[in-house]
């Protein structure tokens, strides 16, 4: 037999259509049959009226005493069945009590069948063929009705129809008059037909009920599966939120000291300008800090994507010019590894976000250079119909086929990366995939272990391929100083970061006063002679205060036009949304000195 799974996980047997024994069949099926029998087979006004019509029709034809006895018994049974059914409907008994109700009702229909069959003897007029045929017609009709109404319980059909038809047939068979034996055999044949019809109707009902229960079981199973999926999804979302909170907290705690170290290294490099050995050591420290900063920036990028604050700003841009710029940025690293790095392809214009598309190409190029030891890296753009296809090809370690399906997942590390290779956090390609989704461009990878990889980004061409996109150089110039020494108010509670930042700003020729907390701002403004050209504030300050509150306090004293730069190590999605809402310029720790100097000069001028 086939098995149907309950929602509780207990297997249940699919009911066999021909099975009617409640000890064998599915209990649910038996319960449904009993309830259906009570709903369709109970005697009503029509049955009582038929009994009275038969009594009226045979009044004066049948023996009066026999007729009165038959009427009394039949009406008693009819009213008793009606009362029994009424109590059943009113009480709506539990499933465990249905077996008792079923047995009592089967006894009632059996007695009812005997009384209807007894009419063949009690009401039978020996000398009136018309009434004999009429009596056979009535008994056959009531038997057909019982076959239809009791079909839900085949045993009820047998108990109700067989006594009535067999007793009536016996009466005709015992009459030696012409044609009565044939009439008796016709009634027996009619009984066989009714049994066959009743069995077929019963099978249809059982099949329908079985299908209903199977569907209910399937629905419960699906509901259980959906519930399990919702539970799993909720747990996954909770885990993801916990992961995000952890990364944000860890990132913030790491960014503070790394930020200070980068600023100190920059100051150290200026002081050791004539010592080549010290300069070499500083350069190595600086490269190591760059690697750490790259890892922290990857966490920041993921947090920005999680927070949903990354928006696409489309503009027409020359893809080949972007590739040339990326090649220039990675030329030094490729040269140190002895790799050939070049760009290829014609100038093609696309409508996309320069910053986001540049991030995609830079991440792919960084991976290609990192995982290639010999050979080279080619960054190319090719025209494919109405699309531009950017390809980053390398001769590196390649990616196994099974890894190619997972390489775009967060924190996934290649199995083929050796211990001495710095594989990063496994976020680069995840950032690439999510950024490509934002840009609505297609990302593909083709790779073979030990032979290399090809990452392709495909995006539509711009409708205008003739107009050259203007290139804006935002890199800071050197040597541009302001004659009047600018005053900068620094709000920073971390002693190490504050010392490094203040020292660096003063080395650039700025007058800088530090306020370690919000209640020290007034004294700092006084120390700057109430002239503040720029406010640089950490976001997270003591006592639950924030940088935007400090900026608002300073502006309330000095004027709303005072430039404000928020520097923070917070990377949580919720905090990023708060920071975006302040409207102030923003830098994330650790900050490169050149980046800090550029934005400071920009805000001061």
Positive or negative torsion for Cα 410, 411, 412, 413? positive
Measured CA to CA in angstroms, residue 589 lies from 45, 336, 497, 566 at distances of 90, 28, 10, 10
**Residue 575 binned pLDDT confidence (cut-offs 50, 70, 90):** low
Q: Please report the pLDDT score of residue 280 as a whole number.
A: 61
pLDDT reading at 24 higher than 50: no
pTM listed for this prediction: 0.41
In this predicted structure, what is the pLDDT of residue 391? 93
* Residues 64/251, Cβ–Cβ less than 8 Å: no
Alpha helices, DSSP H, located in 491-538: 495-507, 521-527
What are the residues whose beta carbons fall under 8 Å from the beta carbon of 79, sequence distance 6 or more? 48
Contact 398, 326 (CB under 8 A): no
Higher pLDDT pick, 25 / 133: 133
Q: Write the pLDDT tens digit of every residue in 163-185.
A: 988 988 888 888 777 777 888 88
Predicted pLDDT of residue 380: 92
Of 118, 149, 150, residue with least CA distance to 135? 118
Whether residue 268 has pLDDT greater than 80: no
CA–CA dist 425, 571 (Å, integer): 16
pLDDT value at position 393?
Answer: 92
pLDDT at position 390: 92
**For the ranges 248-252, 276-280, 327-331, the one whose mean pLDDT is highest:** 327-331
CATH number of 310-460: 3.30.565.10
Q: Which two tokens stand for residue 306?
A: 């999680």
β-strands 442-448, 452-460 pairing: antiparallel
* Cα gap 455→390, rounded to integer Å: 8
Per the CB < 8 A criterion, the answer to whether 570 and 301 are in contact is: no
- Rounded Cα gap, residues 215 and 570, in angstroms: 53
Cβ distance 380 to 390 under 8 Å?
yes
Give the residue from 353, 433, 426, 343 showing the smallest Cα distance to 390: 343
Three-class secondary structure of residue 280 per DSSP:
helix
Domain extents in the chain: 3-225, 310-460, 487-604
350, β-bridge pairs: 317, 461
Mean pLDDT of 216-225: 81
Q: Which fold has domain 487-604?
A: Rossmann fold (3.40.50)
| Highest mean pLDDT out of 247-256, 257-266, 444-453, 570-579 | 444-453
Give all strands (DSSP E) within 313-436, no chain letters. 315-318, 340-344, 349-352, 376-384, 387-394
| Contact (CB, 8 A) for 6 and 213 | no
């Amino acid at each position: 037999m086939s098995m149907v799974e309950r929602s509780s996980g207990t297997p249940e047997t699919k009911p066999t259509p021909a099975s009617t024994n409640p000890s064998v069949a599915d209990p649910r099926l038996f319960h449904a049959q009993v309830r259906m029998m009570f709903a369709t087979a109970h005697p009503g006004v029509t049955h009582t009226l038929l009994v009275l019509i038969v009594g009226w029709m045979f009044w004066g034809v049948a023996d009066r005493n026999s007729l009165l006895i038959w009427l009394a018994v039949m009406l008693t049974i009819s009213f008793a069945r009606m009362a029994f059914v009424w109590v059943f409907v009113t009480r709506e008994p539990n499933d465990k009590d249905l077996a008792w109700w079923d047995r009592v009702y089967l006894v009632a229909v059996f007695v009812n069948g005997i009384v209807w069959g007894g009419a063949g003897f009690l009401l039978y007029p020996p000398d009136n063929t018309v009434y004999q045929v009429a009596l056979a017609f009535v008994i056959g009709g009531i038997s057909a009705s019982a076959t239809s109404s009791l079909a839900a319980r085949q045993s009820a059909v047998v108990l109700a129809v067989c006594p009535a038809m067999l007793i009536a047939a016996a009466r005709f068979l015992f009459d030696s008059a012409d044609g009565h034996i044939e009439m008796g055999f016709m009634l027996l044949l009619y009984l066989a037909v009714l049994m066959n019809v009743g069995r077929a109707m019963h099978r249809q009902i059982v099949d329908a009920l079985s299908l209903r229960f199977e569907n209910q079981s399937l629905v419960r199973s699906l509901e259980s599966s959906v519930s399990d999926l919702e539970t799993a999804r909720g747990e996954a979302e909770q885990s993801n939120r916990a992961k995000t909170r952890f990364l944000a907290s860890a990132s913030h705690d790491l960014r503070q000291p790394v930020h200070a170290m980068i600023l100190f290294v920059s100051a150290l490099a200026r002081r050791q300008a004539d010592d080549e050995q010290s300069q070499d050591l500083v350069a190595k420290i600086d490269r190591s800090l760059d690697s750490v900063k790259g890892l922290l920036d990857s966490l920041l990028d993921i947090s920005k994507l999680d927070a949903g604050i990354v928006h696409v700003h489309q503009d027409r841009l020359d893809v080949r010019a972007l590739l040339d710029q990326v090649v220039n940025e990675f030329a030094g690293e490729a040269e140190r590894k002895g790799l050939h790095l070049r760009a290829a392809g014609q100038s093609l214009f696309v409508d996309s976000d320069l910053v986001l598309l540049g991030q995609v190409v830079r991440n792919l190029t960084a991976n290609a250079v990192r995982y290639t030891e010999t050979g080279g890296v080619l960054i190319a753009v090719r025209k494919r119909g109405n699309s531009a296809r950017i390809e980053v090809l390398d001769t590196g370690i390649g990616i196994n086929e099974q890894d190619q399906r997972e390489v775009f997942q967060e924190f996934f590390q290649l199995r083929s990366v050796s211990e001495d290779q710095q594989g990063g956090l496994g976020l680069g390609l995840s950032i690439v995939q999510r950024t490509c989704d934002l840009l609505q461009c297609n990302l593909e990878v083709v790779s073979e272990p030990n032979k290399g990889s090809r990452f392709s980004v495909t995006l539509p061409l711009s409708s205008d391929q003739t107009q050259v996109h203007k290139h804006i150089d935002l890199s800071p110039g050197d040597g541009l100083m302001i004659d009047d020494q600018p005053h900068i108010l620094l709000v920073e509670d971390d002693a190490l970061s504050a010392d490094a930042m203040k020292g660096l700003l003063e080395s650039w020729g700025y007058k800088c006063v530090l306020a370690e907390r919000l209640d020290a701002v007034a004294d700092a403004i006084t120390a700057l002679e109430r002239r503040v050209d720029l406010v640089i504030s950490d976001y997270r300050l003591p006592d639950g205060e924030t940088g935007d509150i400090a900026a608002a306090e300073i502006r309330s004293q000095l004027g709303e036009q005072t430039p404000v730069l928020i520097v923070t190590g917070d990377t949580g999605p919720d905090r990023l949304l708060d920071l975006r809402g302040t409207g102030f310029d923003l830098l994330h720790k650790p900050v490169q000195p050149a980046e800090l100097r550029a934005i400071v000069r920009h805000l001061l001028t």
